[in-house]
Structure 1
Amino acid sequence: MSDKQGHVLQVSCLHVKVKTAHGHLSLVKGVEFALKPGRVLGFVGESGSGKSVTSLSILQLLDRKSTVVEGSIQLNGRELNGLHAEEMRRIRGKEIALIMQNPMNAFSPVFTIGDQFVETIRTHTGFGKKQAAELAADALHDVNLPDPAALMRRYPFELSGGMLQRVMIANAMCLQPSVLIADEPTTALDAANQLQVLRQLERIRSDYGTAILLISHDLGVISEMADEVAVMQQGRIVEKADVFELFDHPQHAYTKMLLDDRLTLPIHQPAQELVLS
């Protein structure tokens, strides 16, 4: 259940600092935002602006020995910041999922796709091996991957980047998380595979009401998918607005600079045309 304001994810006064020999260096400074079911918040900004650090802090994946995370991160009203590692492992994948830029980093090279997919399902459900395998195969079919049974016998290095991204999306879809963090999910893909990934992200949010935090430097992707956009610069959100308002009437000088460069970015199919069969 979401909280009384209807937010599934609410981040308040988030600060992330990394420990150095000379003290603490601030990477994220007072970030605040909230997500409602079925909504997409786009995070944009140059490399090093704090987008990915913000997402890793939400997932509690930053090294606790070298970083300090302050502030509140609430998922369905439950505080995540400082939660015990074992509790977070139960939450990650089921209630909040991650799709990363390089999907190869998400898979072990020594186990088949099927072994890893089935293990993820069984970790978060009471399913037996056969039932989990059937669910995994159905999920792979749902993201238009051919011959799921054969694919599950293959190893990650035998699949293209685009196929691995769709395996990650299938994994997220079958567990129907409240929140999905997609960190540069289309950057390394060609145009055809980018479109496939965007279609599947749209399907997750429309079919399951999953809220999506979409991190991308590609304003074309953001304009297609996002309902709202947050612009990050040097660890701060400098502007946040409805996607149409931000693109048509940017207020901050940094946002205007990003939009001035948008013609160099790929132009994709409009969001309303991402129709799923």
Structure 2
Amino acid sequence: MEKQRNVLQVNGLNVAVKSAQGMLPLVQNLQFELKPGKILGLVGESGSGKTITSMALLQLLNQKTMNVEGSIQLHGRELNGLKEKEMRGIRGKDIGFIMQNPMNAFTPVYTIGNQFVETIRIHTKLSKKQAIDLAIASLEKMNLQEPSKIMKMYPFQLSGGMLQRVMIAISMCLRPSVVIADEPTTALDVTTQLQVLRELDRLRTECGTAILLISHDLGVISELADEVAVMQKGRIVEKADVYRLFDHPQHDYTKKLLQARPVLSVNEELSKLVI
């Protein structure tokens, strides 16, 4: 059986920022790959370089203040160094992006429908009516009630959980090869978190999308990821299959992360309820 080709291949990725002291390294020598239909979890404490990594992959860092070196290949095509116009054609169509704060993803003065339809029409040759139909169908798949009504609403009229699902619908409607999800469940209630995670799982299963799931929530990572890469101070210090990493962590930092998880003793809690 032929080995599946990686959708995204990252080799020797280095990101540095200009400072008064010279170039300050933020991310150093990252190596990882995304496979079709698989989820790679990227974990680490705040400031470890997770979001900088995602911004580098999308070529969204300011070139005047940031220096990005190394190789980022999507289906064998080098992304690092591409012109902005070419990257705009890739973002949204080939690489979807789910932000940490859904409010930041939408322009407050335009309706959801206006922004959804514009995204579709930028990347396809669909008519306005076809784009509207696709947008409504995509919202329905996210289990959002009355999608036609949502299309006419403004971002501030939707809850954080609804906006997050709208953002996933927009990210996935063009069936991108890769989705980068940066803390997609932060600031959501537990029920909505579960819905969002189920949608990500469904989309990778149905569409074969490769997902980079960035999170500091080890519960989310253990639930969804196939492989896990652990970041510390801009470096990947350990990378392994999710079961192996959680059951047999090798690096001291990984062990500390796992030990820091809140643990509820079920027997202890149940004993308190027994009269």
**Structure 2 residues without counterparts, runs of 5 or longer:** 265-275
TM-superposed deviation, 1:154: 0.2
**For the residues of structure 2 that align with 1:102 and 1:58, how far apart are their CA atoms?**
19
What residue identity is the alignment partner of 1:120? T
Q: SS where residue 262 of structure 1 aligns? A: coil
Q: Given the alignment of the two structures, is residue 84 of structure 1 paired with residue 67 of structure 2, yes or no?
A: no
Query: Is this contact kept in 1: 2:96–2:172, CA < 8 A?
Result: no
What residue identity is the alignment partner of 1:182? A
Residue aligning to 2:24: 25
Residue aligning to 1:212: 211
TM-score computed with the length of structure 2 as normaliser: 0.94
TM-superposed deviation, 1:172: 1.7
TM-superposed deviation, 1:212: 0.2
What residue identity is the alignment partner of 2:111? T
Superposed, 1:173-252 pairs within 5 Å as: 173-252=172-251
What residue identity is the alignment partner of 1:204? L
Once the two structures are superposed, what CA deviation does each residue of 1:134-169 show, in whole Å capped at 9, x if it has no partner?
000000001000000000000001101100010011
Q: SS where residue 187 of structure 2 aligns? A: coil
Once the two structures are superposed, what CA deviation does each residue of 1:10-34 show, in whole Å capped at 9, x if it has no partner?
0000000001122100000000000
- How many residues end up aligned between the 2 structures? 262
Residue aligning to 1:275: none
Query: Is this contact kept in 1: 2:227–2:240, CA < 8 A?
Result: yes
Larger Rg: 2
Query: Is this contact kept in 1: 2:139–2:169, CA < 8 A?
Result: yes
What residue identity is the alignment partner of 1:27? L
TM-superposed deviation, 1:263: 2.2
Residue aligning to 2:267: none
TM-superposed deviation, 1:200: 0.6
What residue identity is the alignment partner of 1:137? I
TM-score computed with the length of structure 1 as normaliser: 0.93
Superposed, 1:1-277 pairs within 5 Å as: 6-263=5-262
Once the two structures are superposed, what CA deviation does each residue of 1:210-246 show, in whole Å capped at 9, x if it has no partner?
0000000000000000000000000000000000000
What residue identity is the alignment partner of 2:58? L
Identity among equivalent positions (%) equals 69
**For the residues of structure 2 that align with 1:129 and 1:21, how far apart are their CA atoms?**
50
**For the residues of structure 2 that align with 1:187 and 1:264, how far apart are their CA atoms?**
20
**Structure 1 residues without counterparts, runs of 5 or longer:** 266-277
Once the two structures are superposed, what CA deviation does each residue of 1:31-64 show, in whole Å capped at 9, x if it has no partner?
0000110000000000000011001000000011
Q: SS where residue 61 of structure 1 aligns? A: coil
Q: SS where residue 259 of structure 1 aligns? A: helix
**For the residues of structure 2 that align with 1:213 and 1:94, how far apart are their CA atoms?**
16
TM-superposed deviation, 1:5: 5.7
What residue identity is the alignment partner of 1:262? R
RMSD, aligned α-carbons: 1.0
